[in-house]
Chains A and B, each alone.
Chain A
């Protein structure tokens, strides 16, 4: 475990890798800039290393890393599709990358046009009427969306207290509702893995502010009764929130706006191919129907003739949820992807994502228990319960996959499936890659019979072996200190 040192442990007193240039502006007294009580009294513990040490250290770490650029990454719910490198080119264009957020509008017309156009495309894809790009990622988008719902209800003079989430929901949904001050009402899925209209009817009343739903849902199954569900919620005066986590399954086929949703977020970093999971900041634009547009964060981008401008004049806005305009360069990457693929291309993306998931589901279901056995959308959930009966847990299977150079699927989620394995191959994987994954899963399934110990101790070939997750959670060491190793 300790085989790879922290950069702090490479530190040698007095060693440096840089030299600051001569001061070419008048020196100022720090006491005039920072109040004395806010100045630190001791030197910070920074690593003292040469440039070559820094480079070797981080290159070494990057070689131990696993990302979608190294191999197959079927992490369910996360849409770890390959991110085209052209996105990196466009987002590094100096006109975008070096643009100052306070530059006058007339000198940033290109950037404003891009935001404006990106909004038009997202509106077309989702059936929503307006978007904000401020939220920094999905959960931030959920928060923004529910705050908009809250503002809308308050303006109508209604004090509604409840938000309904299905028991298969992403954990961020109930967390968001709680953060926004709502009571969370969880409803059980039916035996088909879907929202049960009868269960929903039981909890619907005039206190319901919203239902939060993702469609296809967390099991990768399409909520077929969505139109009916939307009507039920609207009939009691509640709104519908669409969690865009699974948007990759439906582009060009159906739209949340047409299903009856009032507010939604999109994870640009999932559906629209920008790096995530340690690879870059996210972006969680929030889209609303027209009746909610007045509550969006300011500014929104608008167009007057040929001129683009920021509109700050939304008196009922919930306010800003992030500095400036959100993670703008992530929007540039997503815009590049949108432009490169176009409408037909995006439809093809969703269809291939669904095809790939169904191919894997069909090939694996004989060997791994499939609790909801029917056509799925972009992902599906297997259960390791047959393997568990033989003494091998899903965690062991996941660890063993690492030995074969595959990133494991999401495990133990959703909670309604015992020993869950949530698999999302995405559209960017070839049949050869999918076939290799099937072969690896079948090999591991044979190992369950023949050599379960091998799985209990996996992984064997990775730089770091089986982690003591329980020990890490019970006795976490969260900060390095000089005395740590003593």
Chain B
């Protein structure tokens, strides 16, 4: 079973976001990292870039597959985790901690309501055969 922390919100594309004021920290879920397998390459936007909800903001590549990262919310990138670019295995080891990817200044808080609660995300995982 994949870990689904209770203090996060989730996208249908398996990203999580942790909201603190108007700042959101974004990464991919435990389920996502397990499905991808050993991650070998991550491409992230630069600080100052604008991302918009539902659009791709980067790429994550494992030995098995390459997959787009989808922005759960719109906003401006204020920090990028350089450490995961250097050591992509952090996403496998600690997807909700050291494996975070970007911090954004959320531009439209209403978008957060569109995201899944931990309970709903668990249901989605069940549907996907978890």
Q: Is A469 an interface residue (CB 8 A)?
A: yes
A42–B49 alpha-carbon span in the complex (Å): 43
Partner of B88, one of A412, A415, A469, A474: A474
Q: How far is the CA of A68 from the CA of B129 in the complex (A)?
A: 37
Does A418 make an interface contact (CB < 8 A)?
Answer: yes
- A469 adjacent to B63 (CB under 8 Å): yes
Task: Report whether A412 and B64 are in contact in the complex, using a CB–CB cutoff of 8 Å.
Answer: yes
Distance between Cα atoms of A470 and B38 in the complex (Å): 7
Q: Which residues of A contact B129 (CB under 8 A)?
A: 418
Do A473 and B65 have beta carbons less than 8 Å apart? Answer: no
> Is B40 close to A, CB under 8 A?
yes
Q: Mark A409-440, 1 if CB is under 8 A from B, else 0.
A: 00010010010000000000000000000000
Nearest to B92 among chain A residues (CB) is: A470
Q: Flag if B65 contacts A412 (CB, 8 Å).
A: yes
B38 neighbours in A (Cβ, 8 Å) = 469-470
Of the four ranges (under 10, 10 to 19, 20 to 34, 35 or more), the interface on chain A belongs to: under 10
**A contact residues around B61 at 8 Å (CB):** 473
Q: Across the interface, which residues of A come within 8 angstroms of B41, CB to CB?
A: 473-474
How would you classify the secondary structure of chain B's contact residues: helix, strand, loop or mixed? loop
* Known contacts A470-B38, A474-B40; is-contact A415 B65 (Cβ 8 Å): yes
A411 nearest in chain B by CB position? B64
- Whole-angstrom distance between the alpha carbons of A276 and B38 in the complex? 30
Is B74 part of the contact surface with A, judged by Cβ < 8 Å? no
C-alpha gap A470/B37 in the complex (Å): 10
Contact B89–A474 (Cβ < 8 Å):
yes
List of A residues within 8 angstroms of B88 by Cβ? 474
Q: Mark B78-92, 1 if CB is under 8 A from A, else 0.
A: 000000000011000
Please, how many angstroms separate the alpha-carbon atoms of A415 and B65 in the complex? 8
Q: Bound state CA distance, A13 and B66, in angstroms?
A: 44
Residues on A with C-beta less than 8 A from B65 are 412, 415
Q: Chain A residues with Cβ under 8 A from B64's Cβ?
A: 412
Residues of B within 8 A of A469 (CB): 38, 63
Minimum CB distance partner of A469 in chain B: B63
- In the bound complex, CA of A412 to CA of B38 (Å): 14
A418 surroundings in chain B (CB, below 8 A):
129
Residues of B within 8 A of A415 (CB): 65
Give A469 to B41 CA distance when docked, in angstroms: 13
Q: Which B residue sits closest to A171, measured CB to CB? A: B66
**Contact residues, B1-48 vs A (CB, 8 A):** 38, 40-41
Chain B 53-66: CB-based contact to A (< 8 A → 1; otherwise 0):
00000000101110
- Tell me, in angstroms, the Cα distance from A470 to B79 when the chains sit together: 27
User: Chain B residues near A473 (CB, 8 Å)?
Assistant: 40-41, 61, 63
* A 328-362 to B, binary, CB cutoff 8 A, 1 in contact else 0: 00000000000000000000000000000000000
A175–chain B nearest beta-carbon distance, Å: 10
- Docked complex Cα distance between A474 and B65 (Å): 14
Q: In the docked arrangement, what's the CA distance between A418 and B41, Å?
A: 22
Alpha-carbon distance A418/B65, docked complex (angstroms):
12
Query: Which residues from chain B contact A412 at a C-beta distance below 8 Å?
Result: 64-65
Chain B residues positioned under 8 Å from A474 (CB to CB): 40-41, 88-89
Q: Interface code A463-486, partner B: CB below 8 Å = 1, 0 otherwise?
A: 000000110011000000000000
Give CA–CA (A469, B40) in the complex, Å.
10
- How long is the Cα–Cα vector from A469 to B64 in the complex, in angstroms? 10
From residue A268, how far is it (CB to closest CB) to chain B in Å? 28
**Which of A412, A418, A470 has the most chain B CB within a 10 Å cutoff?**
A470
> How far is it, in angstroms, between the C-alpha of A1 and the C-alpha of B88 when the chains are bound?
25
Residues of B contacting A470 with CB < 8 Å?
38, 40, 63
A412 to B64 Cα, complex, angstroms: 7
Chain A, Cβ-Cβ closest to B63: A469
* Shortest Cβ gap from B6 to chain A (Å): 27
Bound together, the chains give a CA A262 to CA B108 distance in angstroms of: 44
Report how far A65 CA is from B88 CA in the complex, Å. Answer: 33
**A412 CA to B40 CA, complexed, in Å:** 16
Residue of A nearest to B67 (CB): A415
Contacts of B63 in A (CB 8 A): 469-470, 473
Bound CA–CA A415/B38 (angstroms): 16
- How many Å lie between the Cα of A470 and that of B63 in the bound state? 6
Q: Which residue of A lies closest to B128 (CB)?
A: A418
Closest to B65 in A: A415
A199→B43 CA distance, assembly (Å) = 30
| Distance of A70 Cα from B38 Cα, bound (Å) | 32
CA distance A473 to B62 in the complex (A): 9
A412 to B35, CA, bound (A): 11
Select from chain B the residue with minimum beta-carbon distance to A393.
B37
In angstroms, Cα B66 to Cα A473, docked, is: 13
For A475, the closest partner residue in chain B by CB is B40
> CA separation between A417 and B63, bound complex, in Å?
16
Q: A469-B38, A469-B63, A473-B40 are in contact. List 5 more A-B contacts (CB 8 A).
A: A412-B64, A412-B65, A415-B65, A473-B41, A474-B41
Q: What 5 pairs between A and B have smallest CB-CB spacing? A: A473-B40, A470-B38, A412-B64, A469-B63, A474-B40
Enumerate chain A interface residues (CB-CB to B < 8 A).
412, 415, 418, 469-470, 473-474
What would be 17 A-B contacts, judged by CB atoms less than 8 Å apart?
Answer: A412-B64, A412-B65, A415-B65, A418-B129, A469-B38, A469-B63, A470-B38, A470-B40, A470-B63, A473-B40, A473-B41, A473-B61, A473-B63, A474-B40, A474-B41, A474-B88, A474-B89
